[in-house]
Amino acid sequence: MSRIVVFGATGLTGRMTVEALLRRGVRPVLAGRDRARLGALAAELGGDLETAQASAEDPASITAVLKKDGVLVTTVGPFSRFGSAAAEAAIAARAHYVDSAGEPSFNRRIIEDYGPRAAAAGVVMLPAFAPEWVLGSVAGALALEEAGHEAVRVDTGYFVVDA
Give pLDDT tens digits for 52-92: 999 999 999 999 999 999 999 999 999 999 999 999 999 99
pLDDT of residue 69: 93
- % of the chain exceeding 90 in pLDDT: 72
Say how far apart CA 68 and CA 1 lie, in whole Å.
Answer: 13
Report, as an integer, the average pLDDT of 124-144.
82
Report, as an integer, the average pLDDT of 106-128.
94
3-class secondary-structure state, position 30: strand
pLDDT of residue 90: 97
Say how far apart CA 29 and CA 51 lie, in whole Å.
Answer: 5
Say how far apart CA 57 and CA 139 lie, in whole Å.
Answer: 34
Task: Indicate if the pLDDT at residue 106 is higher than 90.
Answer: yes
Mean of all residue pLDDT scores within the chain: 91
| Backbone region of residue 46 per phi and psi (left: phi > 0; alpha: psi in -120 to 50; beta: other values) | left
Spatial neighbors of 150 by CB under 8 A, at least 6 apart, are: none
Q: In which band, very low, low, confident or very high, does the pLDDT at 160 lie, cut at 50, 70 and 90?
A: low
Q: In which band, very low, low, confident or very high, does the pLDDT at 9 lie, cut at 50, 70 and 90?
A: very high
Report, as an integer, the average pLDDT of 122-132.
86
pLDDT of residue 163: 63
Model pTM score: 0.84
3-class secondary-structure state, position 32: strand
Which DSSP letter does residue 77 get?
Answer: S
